[in-house]
Chain A
């Protein structure tokens, strides 16, 4: 088990994803425990992997016993172990929370839902852990196909959104595949470490430039980098809440991880920063995306749609940190992957709770009855929203702080101004929501209370228990933002400083 631990997470998830439809064929209620158990197992294993790796080791698992440049290699280094831990922890809480929602949104389909969820996680973990460029493509497709299914389960408009995402996502994955083809034609290898060693020997070659451009463009679609984000708002809005809580924190973060992997660990820092400055390009697009996403989020009236546009902006922060290609920006980007996964996970779960208990997630119609009826959810929303804005004790402040330091270090004042301005814009759209939750008197909408959603009593306050499935994961996710914020220096010193790519 100890030698095999890199391959164990994807394989366990794949095996459980396949066995759920078989085991839960007759009894649907088996689906949830199996999914939670598999997810919990992957969390434990990711902790174990990270603990083993912290001294800077690099564990390589050879599939089928073939030696790496020929065979497929799974690589466990601090970066992949860290991202795998983030992804699996958030996914565990979302799956836990999904039990409370099941009856509402994916009523007849718990079995396919959990099978797809585990397949999605299997693809994600595979992307994170693989050290082979073509294997990465296969995992991207597993991951994306599961995501299309998870989105398509949702409400009436969801299949249309999923269809659009499918067309765009396939183009993205295909672009990546062409890029891999060019790279293979030049280097003759598909192993990431091997390609990294061969590339400097080749020197400048247009095929390498084309390969890099196509790969970044392709993954940019998966990551929803600014002009390629078209699939994101509709998909997140119409997907079932629990799917969007799964895809929003994990899907785009994994895209960001692949960009980091390809830019810094395959092509190398000096190549993407100086020889062929695509990192700059990514940074400018991300800066545009931050402003665009924040402004669009202000214009939205529905909570999930607002969060979707805010995701575009937050992905921009990560892209900006990556594109600056200096240590501080990189720390900011990796820390923001962690923070944003927790923040967006928690916020989408809040939206799910509102839809389930209040019956809608329309910002205009929310009022202080929420506070009485769902005190813990409201508290969780407040903490996450403050973290999104970036108030000091919460985690969001620190990643922005590192990003700002990176911009200063690079001497690019426009990036600094973008980071500051977007914090202000974040404050605008989150305080609007907070104002409604805390201050708005409920009298305005008494007449609309006719169609009472599940668990709603005409007497109102304190009648509905929030339910442990609905509340506990949200509260843990959002309050851990405070913990991440307080111990951020430990995370940065202990983990992220180990994973700064060579030559940065």
Chain B
């Protein structure tokens, strides 16, 4: 049992981060806080990929003259890191669109608080 928890500690960390993000998105009323939750959620996935690439007694995937290219097993897998570079860019784009939408919402309704927002949406169609 302790191995189940301690052996996968990075994944448990990722899992907690993910739940934190979901909690923010679902239970927080302020739209900006929802966005913070969304960002935490996306970061947790990046951590998940990066964690899955790491392994003991191996080095960064840059050609090291001391090791050479033949022993590929002594480098960590570079693919996940490359994928996550793309995912980070996508995350930035998503946050950009989200914040611009939040700004438009604030301009129309002068609030980012969801219950108040719904009230005002009903009042002024």
* For the complex of A and B, 5 pairs with smallest distance between CB atoms: A159-B104, A141-B90, A163-B101, A159-B105, A159-B101
Complex contact A181–B94 (CB within 8 A): no
Determine how close the nearest CB of chain A comes to the CB of B18; give it in whole angstroms.
8
Footprint of A on B, CB under 8 Å?
A: 22, 25, 31, 34, 38, 41-42, 45, 48-49, 52, 79-80, 83, 86-87, 90, 93-94, 97-98, 101-102, 104-105, 108, 117, 121, 124-125
Flag if B45 contacts A181 (CB, 8 Å). Answer: yes
CB-CB under 8 A from B42, the residues of chain A are 170, 174
Flag if B52 contacts A166 (CB, 8 Å): no
28 A-B pairs within 8 Å (CB atoms) are namely: A137-B87, A138-B86, A138-B90, A141-B90, A145-B97, A152-B101, A156-B108, A156-B124, A157-B125, A159-B101, A160-B121, A162-B101, A163-B31, A163-B101, A163-B102, A166-B97, A166-B98, A167-B25, A167-B34, A170-B42, A171-B22, A171-B38, A171-B41, A174-B41, A174-B45, A177-B87, A184-B79, A184-B80
Which B residues touch A167, using CB under 8 A? 25, 34, 38, 98
Flag whether A430 is at the interface (Cβ < 8 A).
no
Residues from chain B with a CB closer than 8 A to the CB of A137 are 87, 90
Question: Smallest distance from the beta carbon of A385 to chain B beta carbons, Å?
Answer: 28
Check A160/B41 contact, CB under 8 A, given A149-B97, A166-B94, A167-B25: no
The residue on A at minimum CB distance from B102 is: A163
A120 on the B face (CB < 8 A): no
Given contacts A156-B108, A163-B101, A171-B41, contact A145 B25 (CB under 8 A): no
**Does A148 count as interface, using CB distance less than 8 angstroms?**
yes
Q: Are A141 and B93 in touch, CB under 8 angstroms?
A: yes
Give 7 A-B pairs besides A134-B83, A181-B80 with Cβ atoms closer than 8 angstroms. Answer: A138-B90, A160-B117, A163-B105, A167-B98, A170-B38, A181-B49, A184-B79
Contact count band on A: 20 to 34
Q: Does A185 have its Cβ within 8 Å of any Cβ on chain B? A: yes
Which A residues touch B31, using CB under 8 A? 163
- Interface of chain A: mostly helix, strand, loop or mixed: helix
Cβ A160 vs Cβ B105 within 8 A: yes
Give min CB distance, A56 to chain B, whole Å.
33
Query: Chain A residues with Cβ under 8 A from B83's Cβ?
Result: 134
Closest to A174 in B: B45
Closest CB of chain B to A231's CB: distance in Å?
13
Contact status B38-A185, CB under 8 Å: no
With contact pairs A148-B101, A152-B104, A171-B25 given, residues A141 and B49 touching in the complex (Cβ less than 8 Å): no
> How many angstroms between the C-alpha atoms of A171 and B39 in the bound complex?
10
A5 to chain B, nearest CB (A): 25
- Determine the distance from Cα of A181 to Cα of B79 in the docked complex, in whole angstroms: 11
Task: Please judge, given known A-B contacts A181-B45, A181-B48, whether A170 and B101 are in contact too, CB under 8 Å.
Answer: no
Q: Which residues of B contact A138 (CB under 8 A)?
A: 86, 90
Complex CA distance for A148 and B94, rounded to whole angstroms: 10
Q: How far is the CA of A138 from the CA of B49 in the complex (A)?
A: 16
Residue with the highest number of chain B CB atoms closer than 10 Å, among A138, A157, A167: A167
Could you tell me if A181 and B52 are in contact, using CB atoms closer than 8 angstroms? yes
Minimum CB–CB distance for A112 against chain B, Å: 12
Tell me whether A456 is interfacial, beta carbon within 8 Å.
no
* Cβ B98 vs Cβ A177 within 8 A: no
**Is A178 among interface residues, defined by CB-CB distance under 8 A?**
yes
A501 vs chain B, min Cβ distance (A): 27
Q: Verify B87–A145 contact, CB threshold 8 A.
A: no
- Tell me whether A178 and B45 are in contact in the complex, defined as CB-CB below 8 angstroms, given that A166-B97, A170-B94 are known contacts: yes
